[in-house]
Structure 1
Amino acid sequence: MTQTPAPVLFVDDEAPLRHAAGQALMLANLDTILCDSASAALAHVTPDFAGVLVTDIRMPGMDGLALMTEVLTIDAELPVILVTGHGDVDLAVASMKGGAYDFLEKPYAPARLVEAVGRALEKRRLTLENRRLRAGGIAAQDPVTDRLLGRSEAIVRLRAQVRAVADTDADVLIEGETGTGKEVTARALHAASARADRPFIAVNCAALPAEMIESELFGHEAGAFAGATRARYGRFEHARGGTLFLDEIDSLPLALQGKLLHVVEHRSVTRLGSNDPILLDLRIVAASKRDLSAAARDGGFRPDLLYRLNVVTLRLPPLSERREDIPELFLSLLALAAARAGRPVPNVPGAVLSALAARDWPGNVRELRNAAERLALGLDSALWTGDAEPGGTLADKMSAHEKALLAASLAAHGGNLKATYEALGLSRKALYEKMQRHALSRENFRED
């Protein structure tokens, strides 16, 4: 379903300026509502208004500051961008303390208007999404989208691959760095399949004691070994009709890999102490943080087992390749963490979300989840508050705000400097100087 574009309310009593701004916004594919007065704009504002407000300060009757006050009374988190003449810059800066999101000084470049509005719309989208998460009101979409969140090209492609293979019985190999969500992906695959109402059995092969791996996987009969006082199902049998997820499969000893190959090929298992094979109807999903093709070449993994398992291979992107997904992921993880702790979901300012998208997460989604857990529990609150509301002088605050905006734009454009300085309305030299001043490196934002 295509979402209705969020509207931009643009208010200016001067028709030429109003229509010029409207044209710039519409050329940028932004849905725009042009108003010649504050009262006309107010008629469009409701608590669930999905757009943003851009208003001139100097207008007859209700001026822009009064309009901002009325709008923030309706919704204190609705982004308001003030348009000001040169003589009103100090007033506009002071108004930011009173709730304004940003201000533009006349004359401004159309690209500057579009960039400011784009950031404000993204903040509004995240604010409304955060509210829905806190209210627990997100409608279920589908088992894949619900589990694999994000809008990046990499995650959209992964969801398409999961959906394509879900209704087949093909075995799947999932590869990805630590913390990228291999088990979550396996569960999404299971939930979207015809086996969804059957068992999903997860086994961490690296966590099984060496002397018990075979018994755990294949089961045993009574008397099969010392201490086996009664027959026991193995994990394969527990997963009959459903999905067996073998995480860190590369940690299995080579001898056991040979027995696993037999199960994969013949879809039957023989318990320890028995000669009778038990037929299996299940899908096997294996996962590894290592490159199994390289491991097979090096002799650490059986090539024939690899060929049986990688009928379909899903490669999970690290967060460094999907930075634009970090704000949405963090808000979702924060809502879940708060629900588990029985606490309200903390509000996360836009500056914090921008900073999260800009930093490195070597532990990927798992590390991001830990950060959300700490915030939900009220830990590291000084750190988060400090990131969102830098102390010191106005110059310090403006500098921190500028750094957050630069980092967010670099993340959104994958470190592409040309796209970044064009989106920000800067010259190449100005962007380089600002990046150097704020110690920002394009290498931390590159997608390749």
Structure 2
Amino acid sequence: MARAMKVAIVDDEADMRQSISQWLALSGFDTETYASAEEALKGLNADFPGVVVSDIKMPGMDGMTFLKKLMSMDSGLPVILITGHGDVPMAVEAMRVGAFDFLEKPFNPDRMTELAKRATQQRRLTLDNRALRRELSDGTVLMKKLIGSSPVMERLREDILDLGQADSHVLIDGETGTGKTLVAHALHAVGARAGRKFVTISCAAWSEDQLSAKLFGPNDDGSLPLVEEARGGTLCLEDIESLSHPLQSRLLTVINEQGTPPETRIIAICNEHAPDTTLENVLRSDLYYRLGAMTIVLPPLRMRGEDILTLFTRMSEQFAEEYGCEAPQVTAQEAAQLLQAPWPGNVRQLVNIAERAVLQNRRGSGSIASLLMADNEASGPALTTEGKPLKDYVEAFERMLIDNTMRRHKGSIVAVMEELCLPRRTLNEKMAKYGLSRADYV
């Protein structure tokens, strides 16, 4: 389950600090108290995982000055101010400065709890967005998200590292749910433009007039058109197949005006086109050849072999931690069913099934096979036995079993040997065969 967020309580009156702390602690919050604003500033930072509750009238630094210092440190930090009756105009001014809300004494403790809950929800969203932005600017983190040791995934990571260093525009194609947006971020993050802007827009999300204004201007709100905002960095155009021919022509003009190497790199993502057509048929030929000088086609999940089991294990472990329960143990039959599934929704579909499998396991009901059948019934049979010899299923399950056991025992070779009834030499040989290293689990 999600960890309780902190509430920092700042008040010069010890009784008030204690009563607020006790009430919020009973409501499930993790509280910490400070007798002064000066003391609190020493314990708070820009990524403080919680919210602040502070009195306005305090000796030394008052609540208003304290608020301004907090806002300069982190404008996204929710601050709830406690005020006496005569201080309401000051509290209203504090809201203008950036306070989350204020409570007038004497206040209802339930109102305090309600405000704290709303503030922590906002804080959690702010911190999650920050963490996501950091991940999307960190090439190492992004490359680790491209899980899998299949040959097609090894080749994909190599392509990203190679093309990331280049200046040419890139075209990304592949089935829905294969992770094309993640690859676009990775291409930017591992290249020379990593420290510059990465601007993205979906060409399918706007009408032609709206998209034209957003891309090329002018905008009614006075904001820069995206081709200008992304200047020097990367402009990522999702759903490029939805771009009308007039807008394709304008985009081509922008590209031609940039020269070589281009000032702004364009990464175009194709999310859907008819099975019997190619992007070359969908886009103007001159634009296609400018964008498609470098192309990455993401592999569908059904072509990634044992990566399916690796991904399912990782995703189910993450959801189990999130929901505070045990991850489901995959049997040999279920492993075969996961490997045989056609996965029309690719990785996105697998993530959804992993989450539902964890929730089923928490209730003690259901099976992975039933989830696969329900998920794929609209696309035809859920299982297919074509194209994979028995040896592949056996090896994939064996690798998953050793991997899961090593994780559970945090790399303890002795514990794994005992649980799997394997002599050390055999375990070492199998780990070497499947590319597993004890160092990854310790």
- TM-score, normalised to structure 2, is 0.48
Whose RCO is larger (CA < 8 A, sep 6+)? Answer: 1
